[in-house]
Every structure is written in structure tokens, then in C-alpha cells.
């Protein structure tokens, strides 16, 4: 997908050349962390840094487990115009208050400096090394905007209206579509009408994201995360039904088209140029369990959204000379989050389901030369495993403390009471996740979800708190940066 002009490419080439010159003295990996709403981006970054800085248990992260990582510390970030990831507040929320930190709503950055001893005999003679890991946190919804750069307003409008008319879209879609149908695209532009339509369109997108629908294909991404653009003309547009490409000058459709182009110029292009195109490695966090629980329509929508996200990357390897001017994402990890909500026996099934949903997109990335892995993980493990008895059956269970106010089987929890329950099984056949529930379907009964509090941290004999527990955070680190610490 060609998302940039020749001028953009030239600008990127000069920026990359400058970055590579700095890398000679201070080697750096820029790691993008993204995912759709509530996938756990903030928790992943916080847990990653906390485990490295405070001596976590990371047996699969080889450089760390063998003692070659000699320290890790936070450093001032390199980009002065990007907000800093608020690590200290987030770790305080997890460790001291035992609450989940606020979700990602904007781009932010953090630099972690990792000191290490090389495994290479020659490099050992040259002394210790340091790798700067620049972690770039951004909402996955913004990635769904990148394909807009290749579409004009008429094309996007047709696609968005067709999407809103699909079965499984919430009632808010009907309210928006009814008002859009009543509007005359060829009538004179009208600010009041534009604002009314934009509000209804935003309400529809917001309803799609609610847990009962758990839909994922929701561009434009900034409509749900407006930030300082809230109320601006660049966020006051919507798709219109019918053929809008030939609308007369001064019409409502032309007004919408102009604002759509402004959105691309003001929001999408700067994100691509200044942040997205500068990444070396990427982790995409996916809350597949929420979609699975919502049903086949939500799973299909998640598959479409993630396929678009993976299609937006610039994957593959470049030659040494080419890498001086062009960045490519050579490793992509797809992290199936909330693995602590399932018994470990279901983790492989979760990975296979994601692999099935994303098979074509993964194949394209691998053909371009990128390595892609899928891992079921929990950046912070909020549960432990046990057994519950139901009649004569002993069922594998998970044990944890539900958040205050959580409702489960008619009981509202107080945030202090621990429970054990059987969450259900994932289907053995990955393709069954996309099937409807009928007599021939292999799809398992719906999973049961409870939102748990972060765990109380264990203490050493001396009374010191240990690092945040996790599932496969060490595997993620090994894949994403292990080769750079060799």
C-alpha cells in the first residue's frame, strides 16, 4: 500500500539517515506498541519496563536470564514534541492501588536504556554495550485511518455506508443512516446539519465499540479520541449515501469532502510521517476474547480490522545500504492479551484462532521478509489456576479478585472477594470462531468474562515487593529485542 508521496519519502529518507548516524554511537530500536481499544497497551509497556528495571522473572528472555543484561534504566526521550509515557503513575496504579491504568488516548513515548554484555567473543573484547529501546505507544484505531490516504471522499463514503448497513451493527447505525438519508447531499452546505450528522456518526462508532457488540472496524479513529481537535471542522464530517462524487460546488457533500481531506492532511499524514514510518519493530495487542464472547460477527470484524492494520505496515528486511535511508518493520508480534482469563490448556487454541483469522495478512508480511509470531500473553497476570467441582466433574478454573462492581451470576463484587470459576473452553477448530451457532457448529459455548483487579505483589523474605507477574512477557521481549542483545 503506497501511503506517501515522493516528497514524503524524501523527508523520511533524510530523517532515517539522521537516525542511523546517531545509532552508530547509541544503537536504538524503535518499538511500536499498538492495539485496538482495551487491548492492554498501557499495561504491556508498564509491565515490560517494571520487570526490566526491578528484576522480574523473565526466563525465556535469554540475555536477561543468563545475566548478560546488567541493568536497565529510563532515560529522557529523544523526541521533544511527543508526550512522555507516564510510567510512574501507571506503575503506581498497578502496584500500590491495584487498579488498571487509564487507556491509551494519544501517542506517547518512553526511552529505556538496556546495558548488556554481548554473547559474541569479539564484541566482549570491545566492552559492554547499551541498547536504547524507544517505545512508541499509539492507539490502534489510528492505524485504521492509514488506508484513507489512498481513498477519496466518494470511495470512503460508499464503503462506510455499506459497512453501517451490515447485519450486526448496533441500533445507532439506523439512527445515523436515517438522518443521512434525509439529508440532501446536493443542497447548500450547512454547518448545523454537518454537526448533527457528525454527532450521530460518532455515536454510532461509539456504540459499535461497546462490549455487547465489540466491533473493531471504526475509522476515522480520531472521532472516538478527538483530543485537542474536538469540535474542529476536521472532525465534523461523515459519509453520505448515494453518489456524492459529482455534487456541485458549495454543496453539503463538497463540504464533507473538503473536511475529509483536511482530516487526512491534519491528522493522518503527520502520524504516518512523524511516527509510524520510523518504527523498527512492532507488537500488535489483540483482545480476541472479547470478540469471541460477542459472537461470530465481532470476530469477523476483528479479523477485517487487524488485516487492515497489518496491511498498513512497511514490513521486510533491507540491505545494509538501504537501511540507511529506509526503515522497515522486520519483526511483528501479535499478542493475544488476557491469557490469564483462560486456563493454560486453551492458550494454544487462542494462538491458532488468531493465526487462522490473520493467515493472509501474515503471509504477505512474511513474503516481504518480516518475521511474524503470535503469542497468548498477559502483561500482568491477575489470576492463578485451580480446580472447581461441578457435580461429578472437576473443571480447570481461574482464581482472582473481581473489580468492585463486577456482576457475575447475579452477584455484585466488592473488589476484595476472591472467586474461582470455570471460564469455558475455546473451540478446537479455529475456523469455528467465525461460524454462527447452529446444530453443526463446533463453536464452544460463550466464554464467561470477569474483570479482575491487578494482583497483590508477592514480597521477598526481606519484605521487598517483587515485579509484576506475567504470562509470556519474556517471550515477547526475546522475539522483539533478543537478537539486538546478542
Q: What number is the average pLDDT over the span 451-462?
A: 82
- Domain limit, last residue, from 267, 299, 324: 267
Per the CB < 8 A criterion, the answer to whether 49 and 153 are in contact is no
> What CA–CA distances, in Å, run from 296 to 76, 214, 312, 341, 434?
45, 11, 24, 20, 5
- 130 located within any domain: yes
Tell whether 154 and 260 lie within a shared domain.
Answer: yes
pLDDT of residue 316 exceeding 80, the answer is no
Pairing of strands 69-75, 371-376: unpaired
Considering its fold, how many domains does the chain have in total?
A: 2
Tell whether 225 and 253 lie within a shared domain.
Answer: yes
pTM: 0.84
Give CA–CA dist 140/314, Å, rounded: 16
- State the pLDDT at residue 157: 95
Give CA–CA dist 267/121, Å, rounded: 48
Residue 108 β-bridge partners: 137
CATH of the domain at 43: 3.40.50.300
- Is residue 233 very low, low, confident or very high in pLDDT (cuts 50, 70, 90)? very high
- 369 located within any domain: yes
Tell whether 262 and 281 lie within a shared domain.
Answer: no
DSSP assignment letter at 166: S
Q: What number is the average pLDDT over the span 468-479?
A: 97
- Domain limit, last residue, from 226, 251, 267: 267
- 412 located within any domain: no
What string of DSSP letters covers 190-248? -HHHHHHHHHHHHHHHHHHHSTTT------SGGGTS-GGGTTSGGGS----SS--TTPP
Tell whether 157 and 257 lie within a shared domain.
Answer: yes
Distance, CA of 325 to chain centre: 27
* Residue written as grid cell 528495571: 53
Domain that holds residue 214: 146-267
Tell whether 310 and 348 lie within a shared domain.
Answer: yes
Tell whether 192 and 235 lie within a shared domain.
Answer: yes
- Is residue 239 very low, low, confident or very high in pLDDT (cuts 50, 70, 90)? very high
More confident site: 184 or 395: 184
Q: Residue 158: count other Cβ atoms within 10 Å of its Cβ.
A: 18
pLDDT digits (tens, 9 = 90+) for 381-411: 999 999 888 778 888 899 999 999 988 878 8
- 431 located within any domain: no
Assess whether the previous peptide bond of 220 is cis (omega < 30° from 0): yes
Tell whether 195 and 166 lie within a shared domain.
Answer: yes
More confident site: 127 or 287: 287
- Domain limit, last residue, from 249, 267, 285: 267
Tell whether 159 and 237 lie within a shared domain.
Answer: yes
- 250 located within any domain: yes
Q: What number is the average pLDDT over the span 217-243?
A: 88
- 1 located within any domain: no
Tell whether 169 and 250 lie within a shared domain.
Answer: yes
Tell whether 251 and 215 lie within a shared domain.
Answer: yes
- State the pLDDT at residue 437: 40
> What CA–CA distances, in Å, run from 20 to 114, 280, 321, 406, 437?
19, 12, 11, 50, 53
- 314 located within any domain: yes
pLDDT digits (tens, 9 = 90+) for 20-44: 445 555 789 999 998 887 889 999 9
Tell whether 100 and 246 lie within a shared domain.
Answer: no
Tell whether 150 and 247 lie within a shared domain.
Answer: yes
- Is residue 446 very low, low, confident or very high in pLDDT (cuts 50, 70, 90)? low
Amino acid at each position: 500500500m503506497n501511503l506517501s508521496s515522493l516528497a514524503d519519502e524524501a523527508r523520511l529518507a533524510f530523517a532515517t539517515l539522521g537516525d542511523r548516524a546517531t545509532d552508530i554511537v547509541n544503537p536504538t530500536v524503535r518499538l511500536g506498541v499498538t492495539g485496538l481499544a482495551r487491548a492492554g497497551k498501557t499495561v504491556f509497556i508498564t509491565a515490560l519496563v517494571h520487570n526490566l528495571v526491578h528484576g522480574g522473572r523473565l526466563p525465556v528472555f535469554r540475555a536477561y536470564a543468563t545475566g548478560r543484561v546488567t541493568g536497565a534504566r529510563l532515560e529522557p526521550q529523544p523526541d521533544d514534541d511527543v508526550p512522555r509515557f507516564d510510567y510512574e503513575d501507571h506503575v503506581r496504579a498497578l502496584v500500590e492501588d491495584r487498579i488498571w491504568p487509564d487507556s491509551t488516548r494519544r501517542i506517547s513515548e518512553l526511552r529505556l536504556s538496556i546495558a548488556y554484555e554481548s554473547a559474541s567473543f569479539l564484541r566482549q573484547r570491545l566492552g559492554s554495550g547499551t541498547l536504547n529501546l524507544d517505545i512508541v505507544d499509539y492507539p490502534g484505531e489510528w492505524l485504521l485511518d492509514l488506508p484513507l490516504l489512498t481513498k477519496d471522499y466518494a470511495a470512503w463514503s460508499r464503503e462506510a455506508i455499506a459497512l453501517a448497513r451490515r447485519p450486526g451493527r448496533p441500533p445507532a447505525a439506523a439512527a445515523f443512516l436515517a438522518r443521512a438519508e434525509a439529508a440532501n447531499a446536493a443542497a447548500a452546505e450547512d454547518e448545523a446539519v454537518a454537526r448533527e450528522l457528525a454527532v450521530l456518526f460518532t455515536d454510532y462508532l461509539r456504540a459499535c465499540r461497546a462490549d455487547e457488540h465489540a466491533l473493531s472496524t471504526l475509522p476515522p479513529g480520531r472521532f472516538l479520541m478527538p483530543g485537542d481537535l474536538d469540535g474542529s471542522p476536521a472532525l465534523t464530517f461523515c459519509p453520505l449515501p448515494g453518489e456524492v462524487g459529482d455534487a456541485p460546488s458549495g454543496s453539503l457533500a463538497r463540504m464533507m469532502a473538503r473536511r475529509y481531506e483536511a482530516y487526512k492532511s491534519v491528522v493522518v499524514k503527520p502520524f504516518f510521517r512523524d511516527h509510524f514510518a520510523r518504527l523498527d519493530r512492532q507488537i500488535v495487542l489483540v483482545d480476541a476474547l472479547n470478540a469471541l464472547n460477542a459472537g461470530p460477527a465481532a470476530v469477523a470484524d476483528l479479523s477485517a480490522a487487524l488485516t487492515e492494520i497489518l496491511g498498513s505496515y512497511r514490513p521486510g528486511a533491507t540491505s545494509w545500504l538501504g537501511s540507511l535511508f529506509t526503515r522497515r518493520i522486520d519483526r511483528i508480534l501479535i499478542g493475544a492479551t488476557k491469557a490469564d482469563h483462560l486456563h493454560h490448556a486453551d492458550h494454544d487454541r487462542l494462538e491458532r484462532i488468531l493465526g487462522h483469522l490473520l493467515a493472509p495478512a501474515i503471509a504477505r508480511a512474511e513474503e516481504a521478509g518480516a518475521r511474524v509470531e503470535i503469542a497468548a500473553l498477559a502483561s500482568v497476570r491477575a489470576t492463578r489456576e485451580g480446580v472447581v467441582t461441578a457435580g461429578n466433574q472437576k473443571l480447570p478454573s481461574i482464581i482472582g479478585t473481581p473489580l468492585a462492581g463486577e456482576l457475575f451470576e447475579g452477584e455484585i463484587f466488592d473488589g476484595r472477594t476472591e472467586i474461582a470459576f470455570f471460564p469455558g473452553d475455546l473451540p478446537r477448530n479455529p475456523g469455528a470462531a467465525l461460524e454462527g451457532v447452529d446444530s453443526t457448529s463446533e463453536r464452544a459455548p460463550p466464554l464467561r468474562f470477569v474483570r479482575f483487579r491487578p494482583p497483590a505483589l508477592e514480597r521477598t523474605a526481606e519484605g521487598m515487593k517483587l515485579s509484576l507477574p506475567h504470562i509470556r512477557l519474556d517471550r515477547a521481549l526475546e522475539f522483539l529485542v533478543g537478537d539486538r542483545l546478542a
